[in-house]
């Protein structure tokens, strides 16, 4: 006798695998609600995937729910139970976090099980067989996760054993090749999916250095500090002071538009150059070093640098030009 509701929550990244997984379940006349997570560690590619998830949900004819992974998730990244991958990517803990949130949503949506686009052996950390079992157990969803693309590599899930899902219509894909998936999207005439590829900044070496620096030096950081990590060049001036400068006009505009205290905004006053924001000890020495760093990224040959600093009221600071060991200060 069936005890589970014939309704599923499906994790929909907007990528090839998740779109196919949802399609395979919908074709078995299961009601599906899609869930997409956004993250402060999303690259531009991942943010595009978010838009792609919306388009994919429309093409599939299902409702999409968005959940933002905020400071609660940042805490997971800071101290992951299962450690990191090559950089600051806690892939196993990330999956556990998302599936725990999915389980909470199941109760609200009166859903009986979860659908994911996982493929055995596709990702080196989170899609190993042992890791998949750990994630399922720690998320509290043992037996309740259906993986349509790789289902036949695992023991049947509860929805399969109860006859809600026809296991014979699920697949046995494994490994990193997506040849089978591309054939399937063509067969199903699916157009709204993004190409495979990493989009998580936590896998990026340069971004990971900035994040480690933040975790080590700033014990009271907030989401604004996290969001600034993906913008500009970062410099550690002292244990309590950091400078960020824009790399291009777009980043200059973002820094100028989104800074707020305790940051101060530093703008070149008599030359064209990058905008900067500084957080920490606003000493004369740190302002002078910041001015010279900003000046070093501008075509400016004067012996003095003038900055306008937005404090309680705009202030102009004129400092002498001197050499700064940028490589030593750059994070």
What value does the mean pLDDT of the chain take? 94
User: Residues 294-320: pLDDT tens digits?
Assistant: 999 998 888 999 999 987 778 899 999
Q: What is the DSSP string of 125-193?
A: TTSSHHHHHHHHHHTT-TT-EE-TTTGGGSPPPHHHHTTSS-GGGS---BSS--HHHHHHHHHHT----
User: Residues 176-227: pLDDT tens digits?
Assistant: 999 999 999 999 999 999 877 667 899 999 999 999 999 999 999 999 999 9
With 90 as the cut, is the pLDDT of residue 49 above it? no
Which of helix, strand or coil describes residue 321? coil
Q: Which residues contact 261 (CB under 8 A, 6 or more apart)?
A: none
CB half-sphere exposure, 54, CA atoms < 13 A? 8
Is the backbone peptide bond immediately before 26 cis, with ω within 30 degrees of 0?
no
With 60 as the cut, is the pLDDT of residue 145 above it? yes
Q: Please name the residue that has the structure tokens 């899930």.
A: 157
Where exactly are the structural domains of the chain? Answer: 7-201, 231-329
With 80 as the cut, is the pLDDT of residue 47 above it? no
Over residues 245-272, mean pLDDT: 94
- Overall fold of domain 7-201: Rossmann fold (3.40.50)
Return d(Cα 135, Cα 142) in angstroms, integer: 9
Over residues 55-83, mean pLDDT: 97
Return d(Cα 330, Cα 52) in angstroms, integer: 35
- Quick one: pLDDT at residue 55? 94
Over residues 11-39, mean pLDDT: 96
């Amino acid at each position: 006798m069936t005890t589970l509701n014939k309704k599923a929550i499906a994790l929909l990244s907007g990528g090839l695998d998740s779109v196919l997984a949802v399609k395979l379940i919908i074709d078995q006349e299961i009601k599906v609600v899609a869930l997409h997570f956004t993250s402060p560690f999303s690259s531009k590619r991942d943010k595009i995937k978010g838009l792609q998830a919306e388009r994919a949900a429309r093409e599939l004819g299902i409702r999409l729910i968005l959940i933002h992974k905020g400071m609660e998730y940042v805490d997971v990244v800071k101290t992951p139970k299962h450690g990191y991958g090559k950089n600051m990517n806690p892939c196993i803990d990330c999956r556990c976090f998302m599936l725990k949130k999915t389980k909470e949503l199941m109760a609200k949506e009166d859903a009986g099980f979860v659908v994911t686009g996982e493929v055995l052996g596709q990702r080196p950390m989170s899609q190993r067989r042992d890791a998949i079992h750990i994630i399922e157990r720690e998320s509290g969803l043992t037996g309740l996760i259906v993986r349509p693309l790789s289902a036949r590599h695992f023991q049947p899930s509860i929805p399969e054993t109860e006859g809600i899902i026809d296991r014979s219509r699920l697949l046995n894909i494994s490994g990193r090749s997506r040849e089978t998936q591309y054939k399937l999207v063509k067969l199903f005439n699916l157009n709204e999916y993004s190409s495979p590829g990493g989009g998580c900044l936590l896998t990026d070496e340069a971004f990971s250095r900035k994040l480690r620096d933040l975790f080590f030096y700033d014990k009271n950081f907030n989401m604004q500090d996290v969001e600034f990590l993906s913008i500009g060049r970062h410099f550690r001036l002292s244990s309590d002071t950091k400078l960020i400068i824009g790399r291009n006009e777009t980043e200059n505009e973002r820094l100028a538009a989104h800074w707020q205290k305790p940051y101060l905004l530093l703008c070149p006053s008599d030359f064209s150059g990058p905008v900067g924001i500084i957080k920490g000890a606003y000493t004369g020495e740190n302002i002078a070093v910041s001015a010279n760093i900003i000046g070093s990224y501008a075509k400016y040959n004067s012996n003095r640098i003038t900055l306008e600093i937005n404090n309680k009221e705009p202030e102009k600071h004129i400092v002498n030009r001197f050499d700064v060991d940028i490589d030593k200060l750059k994070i």
